[in-house]
Amino acid sequence: MRPPDFVKRMRSMRCSLLAMSLSITVLCSSFGNADEKDAGVDQPVDSLSLVVNAIGQSNESSVRRSLLRGLLAGLEGRRNVKAPAGWELLRQELAADSDSQVQELSMQLSQVFGDSQAAKEALAILSDSSADSVRRRSALHSLLEQQNKTVSARLESLLDDPSLAIDAIRGYASIENAAAPAILFQRFPAMTAAQKRATVETMAARMPYAERLVGAVKRKVVARDDIPVHVARSLSEMLGDKFVKVYGEIRPVADDRAMLLKKYKAMLTPKAIVAADAGRGRVIFDKTCAACHKLYGNGGEVGPDLTGSNRANLDYILLNSIDPSYDVPDAYKMVQILTSEGRVINGVLAEEDNVKIVLKTAEQPRVVIAKADIETRRVSKKSMMPDGQLDQLKPNQVVDLIKYLRTKSQVELSK
């Protein structure tokens, strides 16, 4: 006879496989044809009922969690999906589950199914300052994903909470709010560096916001240095001369590539490199590069992982830093999206199916956009990495950064 532990492990493994199988089934089923949608409201798919039945037949919270997550993954990017038969009864049962994650996941699903009561529950969690910050953040994200208009009015109240402030700032990009520029610019001087960056990036996400950002720069509420290069490039394309007259010309790096290569190679002499501090360079990397690039396991995934790149070659580093758009692989070309309700999103394509596309952006590792919401989409020849990154640094910072980039193993951060 097999020991009870073995039987339990095998049962758990079968449940995990079932969850994965059903997740894939739902995901594939969601790739419906455009004519299956009516007036922007998604129609039901048969696989939803299969998953609902499977959830109802299980008494194990761990299995329910897996199935609910699979169902949410399969419905990602969809709104107002017609609830499958049996969901209402199951929802009541899941609301009483002893596992808080099961309760939360079922609430998120009900929002996808257009349940106004579930949206009210999420709003209640978000408004409860005594609730766990992870739960509140999850509630905020689910409401924003479902384009809940009520949540936009609640964002200002979240700006004083350090654990939610940046999520709230980005929330104004997800759902347009005419009061957002005034609210954010009034608070701007007292914001942290990360909050200021999130504010500038949010203001660059919509035309009305961007025009107010230009005014804030004119009034010196926002300094020129507060606008990252990649955001300035996006604003220049969006507003043209209106932005350039205030910010200044964004010179095409390619025109001066040879001159800049010569300039930086003269700066990066062997003697200068030896005297540089790789630990300080790591600090600079974390501030300027790590949002998009990973090195030694740390950093973002928008751009290529630099750990295995040709970093010992100074010419390679300089060319890719000075003119990142010189030779861009298709996988890293910038995709520019304008949604039907005016949001601008720039990123690298991570996933795509018949229902949604997923972009990796410098601000967020995963931005889901329903195809039904896309007004225009184009692929730029430019890299997501902005031109002129080195020009933003002092000479000693450039040398420290290059020394760090040429290291063969991780170094300690300098204090």
Q: How do 298-299 and 333-339 pair as beta strands?
A: unpaired
Strands (E), 175-270: none
Same domain, 8 and 94: yes
Yes or no: say if 119 and 149 are a contact pair by the CB < 8 Å rule.
Answer: no
- Whether residues 264 and 245 share a domain: the answer is no
Check whether residue 92 and residue 187 sit in a common domain.
no
Contacts for 370 with CB less than 8 Å, ≥ 6 apart: 77, 78, 79, 355, 356
Please give the model's pTM, rounded to 2 decimal places. 0.68
Question: Same domain, yes or no, for 347 and 301?
Answer: no
CATH number for the domain including 378? Answer: 2.30.30.100
Number of domains forming the structure of the chain: 4
One domain, residues 271 and 394: yes
Q: Are residues 312 and 348 in the same domain?
A: no
On whether residue 413 sits in a domain, the answer given is: no
> Which single residue is written with the structure tokens 């709010």?
177
Per-residue model confidence as pLDDT tens digits over 257-313: 778 888 888 999 989 988 899 999 999 998 888 878 888 888 887 777 888 666 777
Domain match, 367 and 312 both: no
Final residue in a domain of this structure, among 225, 250, 275: 250
Provide the residue range defining the domain that includes 344.
Answer: 330-383
Radius of gyration of the chain (CA): 24
176 close to 208: Cβ distance less than 8 angstroms: yes
pLDDT tens per residue across all 415 residues of the chain: 455 554 455 455 455 545 444 444 444 444 443 334 444 445 444 678 888 888 888 888 888 888 888 888 888 888 888 888 889 899 999 988 888 889 999 999 999 999 999 999 999 999 999 998 989 999 999 999 999 989 999 999 999 999 999 999 999 999 999 999 999 999 999 999 889 989 998 999 999 999 999 999 999 999 998 887 778 878 998 999 999 999 988 766 556 777 888 888 899 998 998 889 999 999 999 888 887 888 888 888 777 788 866 677 787 788 778 877 766 777 778 899 999 989 999 888 999 988 999 998 877 888 999 999 999 999 987 777 777 778 888 999 999 999 999 887 888 887 7
The number of beta carbons lying within 10 Å of the beta carbon of residue 140 is 25
Element (H or E) spanning 404, and its range? Answer: helix 395-405
Is 112:26 a contact under the CB 8 Å cutoff? no
* Short-list 229, 179, 176, 226, CA closest to 205: 176
Q: Where does 241-373 show beta strands of DSSP type E?
A: 294-295, 298-299, 333-339, 344-352, 356-360, 367-370
pLDDT of residue 221: 96
